[in-house]
């Protein structure tokens, strides 16, 4: 089970009572295509905030040293964290350091639909697109 990134997730978690489906959690009947938002920050926002980051390195830690070295060399340890820091630039980490255009976002959605992009990465790209430049 991939749980590398469960955040950001604005949707309210299941409260254990299926009679509340569509009322306190699940699809928002007033806004088709959206979920009922989580407004209780006491347990973290979203459906599974406690799982954020679990197994985040699974793709790297269950491979060879060569793969880990290539991953670190070409992606960098901080790339794709949504912050363009001093060790990154548009050439080494375009996701963090370039404007996310609508075309780039559309491409990311296509990658997610094809199963080549995780939901966490898609959500990060949506966040970057919403922030603009």
Name which of 72, 30, 76, 112 is nearest 22 in CA terms.
30
Q: Are 46 and 8 in contact (CB under 8 A)?
A: yes
Write the CA distances from 78 to 13, 98, 122, integer angstroms: 29, 15, 17
Q: Give me the pLDDT at residue 23, please.
A: 93
pTM over 0.85: no
Each residue's pLDDT expressed in tens, for the chain with a length of 133 residues: 444 566 677 888 888 899 999 999 999 999 888 999 988 877 777 887 777 666 665 554 556 778 767 766 766 556 666 666 667 666 667 766 777 677 777 878 888 888 887 888 788 778 777 766 5
In sequence order, what are the beta bridge partners of 21? 25
Local structure of 25: helix, strand or coil? strand
CA–CA distance, 27 with 37 (Å, rounded to integer): 9
CA–CA distance, 55 with 73 (Å, rounded to integer): 21
Task: Go through the chain and tell me how many residues it has.
Answer: 133
End-to-end CA distance of the chain, in Å?
A: 34
Give counts: helices (H), strands (E), the chain.
Answer: 5, 0
Q: Where are the domains of the chain?
A: 1-56
Name which of 130, 108, 132, 131 is nearest 120 in CA terms.
108
């Amino acid at each position: 089970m991939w749980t590398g990134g469960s955040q950001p997730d604005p949707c309210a978690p299941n409260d254990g009572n299926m009679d509340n489906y569509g009322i306190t959690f699940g699809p928002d009947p007033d806004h088709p295509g959206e979920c009922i938002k989580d407004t209780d920050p006491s347990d973290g926002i979203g459906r599974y905030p406690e799982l954020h980051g679990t197994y985040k390195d699974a793709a790297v830690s269950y491979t060879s040293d060569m793969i880990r070295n290539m991953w670190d060399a070409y992606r960098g340890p901080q790339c794709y964290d949504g912050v363009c820091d001093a060790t990154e630039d548009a050439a080494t980490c375009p996701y963090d350091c370039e404007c996310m255009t609508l075309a780039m976002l559309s491409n990311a959605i296509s990658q997610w639909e094809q199963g080549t992009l995780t939901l966490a990465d898609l959500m990060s790209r949506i966040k970057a697109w919403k922030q603009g430049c």
